[in-house]
Amino acid sequence: MKHEGSSDEMMTDEKWQAIISNDAAYNHQFFYAVKTTGIFCKPSCKSRIPKKENVRIFQNAEEALSAHFRPCKRCKPTNERLPDNDWVALITAYIDKNYSDKLTLETLAEMSHGSPYHLHRTFKRISGITPVVYIQQIRINTAKNLLLQNDVPIADIGKAVGIPNIPYFITLFKKMIGHTPAQYRQFHNKSEGLNK
């Protein structure tokens, strides 16, 4: 998602200091958006401090919204909450893109500016499964594709999909698919041979 716009203000040392010290005195002077999360906040927001190069400054919430940034769930810069469906979509998109990283409820909550408990409860209510189950599904589905595409060692596939603990990877794969990764690859390679 590209965030274009000509209404950006310059990042000054004063504004950066206000952001990193969560200074509420600046709340009505500017808003800041984080390019990597697509979320914008008040300077007083208690979320994790972003990298300075990922920050854009806006004079008001309307400018940030028109540049396609979403309001933070934690500091509510528009004084309203991001709808739960949009929030879960944001989290889902983040998981889809970063499934191979170490993802925890805390990581996801930090990224999406919410609490782990609220995230877990809301994600399950909207999608019908917990964030952990969703992450596992993405990882195992990706592993299935990798197993069929090449002869990469199973341990390397586990690492590639974000599950470096190989016994756990094999156990989870078998629990979700009904076969170990080796059995799955072998079965599908045989059926490919029969179809030729």
- CA geometry: angle 109, 110, 111, nearest 5 deg: 90
Note if 45 is an active site residue.
no
- CA geometry: angle 20, 60, 45, nearest 5 deg: 30
Alpha carbon separation from 119 to 11, 81, 101 (Å, rounded): 31, 13, 19
Query: Which residues fall within 8 angstroms of residue 175, CB to CB, at 6 or more apart?
Result: none
Number of residues that make up the chain: 196
Alpha carbon separation from 124 to 93, 109, 132 (Å, rounded): 15, 14, 10
User: Tokens in use for 77?
Assistant: 């810069």
Tokens 């041979």 sit on residue: 193
Strand bridging mode 55-58 / 31-34: antiparallel
First to last CA, the chain: 42
Of these residues, 41, 45, 72, 75, which one is catalytic? 41
Q: Which residues are catalytic?
A: 41
